[in-house]
Amino acid sequence: MKKLINDPDAVVDEMIEGMCTAHDFRRLEGTTVVVRADAPLEGKVGIVSGGGSGHEPTHAGFIGDGMLDGAAAGEVFTSPTADQISEMIQACDGGEGVFCVIKNYEGDVMNFETAMEMAEMEAETEVESVVVDDDVAVEDSLYTSGRRGVAGTIFVHKVAGAMAHQGGGLSEIKRVAAKANEHVGTMGMALTSCVTPEKGEPTFELSAEEVELGIGIHGEPGTERTDVMSADEIADHLTEAVLEDLDLEGGTEVVTMVNGMGGTPLMELYVVNRRVQEIVGEAGLEVWDERVGDYMTSLDMMGCSITVLELDDELKELLAYPAETPGLTVVE
Amino acid sequence: MTDDSIDLETQADAVREAVRAADDRIADKKASLTELDSAIGDADHGANMTRGFGKATEQLEETDDHPADVVKTTGVALVSAVGGASGPLYGGSLMKASQELEDGLTPETTVAFAERYLETVESRGKASLGDKTMVDALTPAVHTYKKSIEVDGCAPLEALGKAVDAARRGVEFTTPLRAKKGRASYLGWRSVGHQDPGATSTLILLEELLAVATEHLDGEVDVDAEAEVDPEELETSVADDPEATGEDVSTSDDLPADGGD
């Protein structure tokens, strides 16, 4: 398998080096944690996240004004360790405490929980967190109890980051982050598996005539394998599953996201988005904003996920608040 | 044993010795832990634990002469070097439970330590008894230790010996269970018939703790023959052959360790 990789063992390290020269980021020495160059911001609650690598731009790509202050990167598809997460928490504490956005995977949750205790013990840092579980495809999966945390996490980053930049305290941030998580749903699918640097071959086998529905972001199996479908049929299937889960009344305002899994041409994502908008319109929902692009990827997997977030005035205001990060920019 | 007779520095040395002993034993057992884990997990438990205890041993020199600090530093090392779920489960729980040892090692503080450790593993791993996890080795060990000290009035060494026996029976009991937590749970019924790797490594650590405690406290207490660390017995306790282990256990007690047959 041809890859732009020098050494599978060094891929996370070298990625972070490249990231830190490209953006206003600083790497905490001896770790794979990246924080904004000027962290901590005095008087603002720090917002941090983290997880396995291979989902870029998640999470470090959302470091910047209005979103994250820090992101801990683990090995590919592997949770970062608690000691590194704890260092990140302490590096992002500007005196008002730190809020952690955690995707619901057993390793991530345990390491973040341990890290929060370490930061409390070592530096008396005040910490709060939310565990994002937006994937409507599965109740329990290969790596989770409960639903998985996937692309809906980006909206939680945005909402929590905006609240922090407006001067919100830990409990306010937790409230809006939990609200966003409660009202968001996502479902994904794959045309191909992904190839991890270490293995160098596809994680699962998918023939040219098949697609996998309900996949996660680690090449873990989905809920259903079917014959290849058209872009419209796939968009129908995923969107309907998300809307059924959210169970929204007509007239509800929503934001939609068509997210690429890393190996999907943007052209195809727009084709999918075209159909998503038709279905959402037919369901009587008001689309307040649409996002199309690579936000939460699974290395080089071809496929997409569809996310719908139900809005209220507060969430709209927080989503509209300016943000400037490599992965997402919102201008006033 | 009256604990005020042993100063904190000596206690810290004994804990350091236990960490080194655990490091040696885990390294010896790396292959068999890996084998257990490849049957129902992702085959990295041996390597991860070896790396973790290697790091813990390296950091012993920097620890204060207080048992709580040695335990805490070991916990931090495990958290940073084991990774995955076992890092927070082993390391995070040691870190948290070390707070119970501020007054040094006494019958009371060690009971509190054991209870806090079990509690942390349960809440962090969201696992209960019978889920086929390290909780199945820990629960009988901690309950037996507490009961032996508080109800039976045993000396700590004797209580620890009984606790290790209880843990061993707990490990055997994981074999016939269907896993409900961790990666093994996704195998569903196929997880039945395999000994749990996390419960096994928990037993290994307890056995080393007992061996070191025996060296330090022997003479003050008559150690029950059962509690002596017999290398043959240890060999079978981490074997993955349920029949061999079932047979071994049935000689020393009457608990349902043969449930796997």
**Ordered strands of the A184-190 beta sheet:** A224-227, A210-213, A184-190, A303-310, A253-260, A286-293
Does B91 contact A107 at a Cβ distance shorter than 8 Å? Answer: no
How much is the pLDDT for B254? 34
Distances (CA, A) of A25 to A49, A101, B129: 15, 19, 45
With an 8 Å Cβ cutoff, are A114 and B183 in contact?
no
- For chain B, say whether A113 makes contact (Cβ under 8 Å): yes
Kindly report the three-state secondary structure assignment for every residue of chain A.
CCCCCCCHHHHHHHHHHHHHHHCCEEECCCCCEEEECCCCCCCCCEEEEEEEECCCCCCHHHECECCECEEEEEEECCCCCHHHHHHHHHHCCCCCCEEEEEECCHHHHHHHHHHHHHHHHHHCCCEEEEEECCECCCCCCCCCCCCCCCCCHHHHHHHHHHHHHCCCCHHHHHHHHHHHHHCEEEEEEECCCCECCCCCCECCCCCCCEEEECCCCCCCCCCEEEECCCHHHHHHHHHHHHHHHHCCCCCCEEEEEEEECECCCHHHHHHHHHHHHHHHHHCCCEEEEEEEECCCCCCCECEEEEEEEECCHHHHHHHHCCEECCCCEECC
Does ipTM come in above 0.90?
no
> Considering only CB atoms, which chain B residues are within 8 Å of A113?
88, 92, 124
What percent of chain A is modeled with pLDDT above 90?
Answer: 88
> Is residue B194 a part of any domain in this protein?
yes
Q: How far is A107 from chain B (nearest CA, A)?
A: 5
Cβ distance B80 to A145 less than 8 Å, yes or no, reads no
Output the pLDDT for position B148: 98
Residues of chain A with pLDDT under 70: 140-144
Q: Look at A117 and B95 and tell me if their CB atoms are within 8 Å.
A: yes
Cα distances (angstroms) measured from residue A297 to each of A53, A219, A269, B243:
10, 11, 13, 46
Convert the pLDDT of each residue in A218-260 to its tens digit.
Answer: 877 788 899 999 999 999 999 999 999 999 999 999 999 999 9
pLDDT score, position A220: 76
Contacts of B85 in chain A (CB under 8 A): 106-107, 110
Is B88 close to A111, i.e. CB distance below 8 A?
yes
Q: Residue B230: CB partners within 8 Å, gap ≥ 6?
A: none
Q: Report the amino acid identity of residue A255.
A: V
Cross-chain CB nearest to B83 (options A81, A106, A117)? A81
Question: The domain containing residue B97 runs over which residues?
Answer: 7-252
- What integer pLDDT is reported at residue A141 of this predicted model? 67
> Which chain B residues are Cβ-neighbours of A203 within 8 angstroms?
none
Smallest CA–CA separation between B223 and chain A, in Å? 37
Q: How many structural domains compose chain B? A: 1
Is residue B243 included in any domain, yes or no?
yes
**Nearest partner of A193 among A163, A178, A215, A223, judged by Cα:** A215
Q: pLDDT 10s per residue in chain B (261 long)?
A: 444 568 999 999 999 999 999 999 999 999 999 999 998 888 889 999 999 999 999 999 999 999 999 999 999 999 999 988 899 999 999 999 999 999 999 999 999 999 999 999 999 999 999 999 999 999 999 999 999 999 999 999 999 999 999 999 999 999 999 999 887 887 888 899 999 999 999 999 999 999 999 998 876 544 444 444 443 343 334 433 333 333 333 333 333 333 333
Spatial CB neighbours of A104, under 8 Å, sequence gap ≥ 6: A131, A132, A133, A144, A146, A147, A148, A149
Candidates B71, B76, B79, B90: best to mutate against A (most CBs of A within 10 A) is: B79
Among candidates A274, A252, A297, which has minimal Cα distance to A150? A297
Chain A, nearest residue to B185 by Cα? A142
pLDDT for residue B220: 55
Residue B257 lies in a domain: no
**What CATH number does residue B122 fall under?**
1.25.40.340
Residues β-bridged to residue A308: A185, A256
Quote the minimal CA–CA distance from B80 to chain A in Å: 5
Asked whether residue B14 is domain-assigned, the answer is yes
> Is B159 among the domain residues?
yes
How many angstroms separate the Cα of A219 from the Cα of each of A44, A138, A141, B59? 37, 14, 12, 37
Q: Is residue B160 part of a domain?
A: yes
- Cβ contacts (< 8 Å) between A118 and chain B: which residues? 76, 79, 92, 95
A 144-183 near B (Cβ less than 8 A): 145
Distance from CA of B193 to the nearest CA of A (A): 20
Let me know if residue B196 belongs to a domain: yes
Q: Chain A residue with minimal CA distance to B92?
A: A114
Q: Is A23 a catalytic residue?
A: no
Active-site pick, A59, A165, A218, A237: A218
Residue of B nearest to A83 (CA): B80
Domains of chain A with CATH codes: 10-182 (3.40.50.10440), 184-310 (3.30.1180.20)
Cα gap B117→B90, rounded to integer Å: 9
Measured between CB atoms, which of A78, A110, A118 is closest to B124?
A: A110
Position B2 in a domain: no
